[in-house]
Amino acid sequence: MPTKTLKSCGQLEERELVVLRAMAETVKPDYESDVGEYLNGTLNYNRVIKALTALRALNLVVIKRRPGETDLWNSIHWFGNSFVTLPPTERIVYIDGIIRAYKRFIGKHKSRLSERPALSTLQYWTQNAELDIFAGSSKMRFSYLAKFLFAFMAGAYPREFARAARDLLRSVNWTSEHIKYRGFEFSVWGAGKYVV
């Protein structure tokens, strides 16, 4: 049982629970500095680092080693993930923190979209859309993704766009609601003419 496993590891402090809950909402492995930014305003950076160190000692997080580069954190072991599951209304707090951090990144890097950006840059747009879907902002995400479609096409990453668009389409009843998203439909149709 996941709860028993965690209890055998000792009692988790509130800061560890907060960090685990934030990490459970992310859609990719992150640097420890990213985790700190997601929790900006909730925990200071030193407390996030202490929590990550404690969670690592308890083997509740998985670290992705990258030789010559900074390690990535975020994958939670199955028992940790099931322990931090929260009701949707409580998860929104953590999702909003991640979205705010993504929007800061997007604001700083928006000008790079005209330069054939790397997939790692474009994924901030699609991951932001994924988080917004859960938060219930599908309508805004359709226009948002359509606005940046050509950056995905120019960067030769239409699959990443299609993956996010598929998630968006699943989040609404397209048959009855497609009229609300005409800008998205026309953008995708227009871009489709240029796909060889």
| Per-residue pLDDT tens digits for 45-87 | 999 999 999 988 888 888 887 788 777 776 565 555 555 667 7
Residues 75 and 8 in one domain: yes
Residues 69 and 122 in one domain: no
Q: Is 59 or 185 the better-scoring residue by pLDDT?
A: 59
Above 60 in pLDDT, residue 158?
yes
pLDDT in the model for residue 90: 83
> Would 120 be classed as within a structural domain?
yes
pLDDT in the model for residue 84: 62
Residues 77 and 128 in one domain: no
Residues 139 and 182 in one domain: yes
Q: How many CB atoms are located within 10 Å of the residue 118 CB?
A: 11
> Would 105 be classed as within a structural domain?
no
Count of the separate structural domains present in the chain: 2
Per-residue pLDDT tens for 122-149? 888 888 888 887 777 655 677 777 777 7
Structure confidence at residue 195 as a pLDDT band (50, 70, 90): very low
Residues 65 and 137 in one domain: no
Q: What domain range is 167 assigned to?
A: 111-192
Residues 79 and 116 in one domain: no
Q: How many CB atoms are located within 10 Å of the residue 91 CB?
A: 18
Above 70 in pLDDT, residue 192?
no
Percent of the chain whose predicted confidence (pLDDT) is above 70:
79
In DSSP terms, which residues pair with 72 in a beta bridge?
Answer: 64
> Would 6 be classed as within a structural domain?
yes
> Would 93 be classed as within a structural domain?
no
* CATH number where 19 lies: 1.10.10.10
User: Strand 61-64 vs strand 72-76: parallel, antiparallel, or unpaired?
Assistant: antiparallel
DSSP E strands: which ranges in the chain? 61-64, 72-76
Structure confidence at residue 175 as a pLDDT band (50, 70, 90): confident
> Would 106 be classed as within a structural domain?
no
How far apart CA 19 and CA 40 sit, in angstroms, is: 11
> Would 137 be classed as within a structural domain?
yes
> Would 104 be classed as within a structural domain?
no
Above 50 in pLDDT, residue 194?
no
pLDDT in the model for residue 15: 93
Mean pLDDT of the chain: 78
pLDDT in the model for residue 38: 94
> Would 185 be classed as within a structural domain?
yes
pLDDT in the model for residue 47: 96
